[in-house]
Amino acid sequence: MTNKRQGFSKRVPRRKRFERLCVSLILLIVTIVGIRIASTSGASVVEIPPLLSESGPSTFRIVIDPGHGGKDPGATGSSGAFEKEYNLAMAQRVYQLLEQDPMFEVKMTREDDQFVELEERAAIANEWNADALVSIHGNTYEDPAVSGTETLYYHNESIPLARTLQKEIIAALGLRDRGIKQQQLVILSRSEVPAVIVEMGYLTNPGEEELLLSSDGQALGATAIYEGLKNYFSH
C-alpha cells in the first residue's frame, strides 16, 4: 500500500497538466501580440518586448496627374508654351522624388503627351486605392497681371492635403498666396481619395511663366509638393 501511494504521488494529475498547458499558451500569445508584461521588485522593472512591429503602413500610394495632354493643350502661356507640356515636366520631377523615397509608391495618370479623360484619371486613383491624388496645373487668365498659387479641392477630407501643399509651394516659390478653394471639378468630385488640383502659378503672367518653365523653378515646385506630401502623411 505504501509503495502504491508513493508511485501515485510522483505522477502529475491531468488537471494540473492542463493548467500548465493553458499558462504556457497564454504566455506565448502575450509574447506574440507584443503586450508588455512588467513585474516589479523594488525599483526594478522587467519587460518582455513585443515581437511584432507596431508600426502602421510602410508606404503610401500617390497618384500624380499631369493636367491636360494630347488634344487638350490646356492654357497657352505668354510665350506661347502649352500648359500640358509644363504639367508633364513638373509631374515627372515630382514622380522621381517620390519614387526614390521608400515612404511612397507612385503612379502617373499619363507619362507622355496623351489625352486621358478626367473620369479615368479619378478612376486610376480609386481603383489603385491610392492615399492621395495630386493633379498639377498651370493657371491662366486674360489679364496678364493676375498672379499667384492656389490649390483646389472638393471633398472636405481633402482640405488638410490642400492646406499642406499650398503652404509648402508658397514658401518655395514665393508667389502670391491665393489660398485653397472648393471647386466641383470632375477629377476632384469623382475621386474617392483625398484629391487636389495644384495651380502652381499663372502661365499667362510673363514673370511667373518664366519662373515656372525654368529648371530651378520646377525643381523648387517639385520639391515643395514632395515635402508637402511627406509632412501630410507624417501627421
pLDDT tens for 40-97 read 344 443 343 333 334 455 799 999 999 999 999 999 999 999 999 999 999 999 999 9
Taking residues 10-22, report their average pLDDT. Answer: 52
Q: Which pLDDT band, with edges at 50, 70 and 90, does 229 fall under?
A: very high
Stretch among 30-34, 78-82, 160-164 having the lowest mean pLDDT: 30-34
pLDDT digits (tens, 9 = 90+) for 126-152: 999 999 999 999 999 999 999 999 999
Contact in structure between 220 and 172 (CB atoms under 8 Å)? yes
pLDDT at 24: 60
pTM of the predicted model, to two decimals?
A: 0.77
**Residue 122: is it exposed, middle or buried by C-beta count within 10 angstroms (0-12/13-18/19+)?**
buried
Taking residues 108-125, report their average pLDDT. Answer: 98
Q: How many angstroms separate the Cα of 232 from the Cα of each of 135, 161, 162?
A: 16, 6, 10
Alpha carbons 232 and 76: distance in angstroms, whole number: 32
pLDDT at 58: 76
pLDDT at 189: 98
Among residues of the chain, what percentage have pLDDT more than 70?
Answer: 76
pLDDT at 13: 47
* Bridge partners (DSSP) listed for residue 60: 104
More confident: 24 or 82: 82
pLDDT at 22: 57
pLDDT at 235: 84
pLDDT at 26: 58
Query: Would you state the cell numbers that stand for residue 26, as one nine-digit string?
Result: 497564454
Question: In the predicted model, is pLDDT for residue 234 greater than 70?
Answer: yes
Question: In the predicted model, is pLDDT for residue 5 greater than 50?
Answer: no
pLDDT at 81: 97
81, HSE (Cβ side, Cα atoms, 13 Å): 23
More confident: 25 or 36: 25
Contact in structure between 133 and 193 (CB atoms under 8 Å)? yes
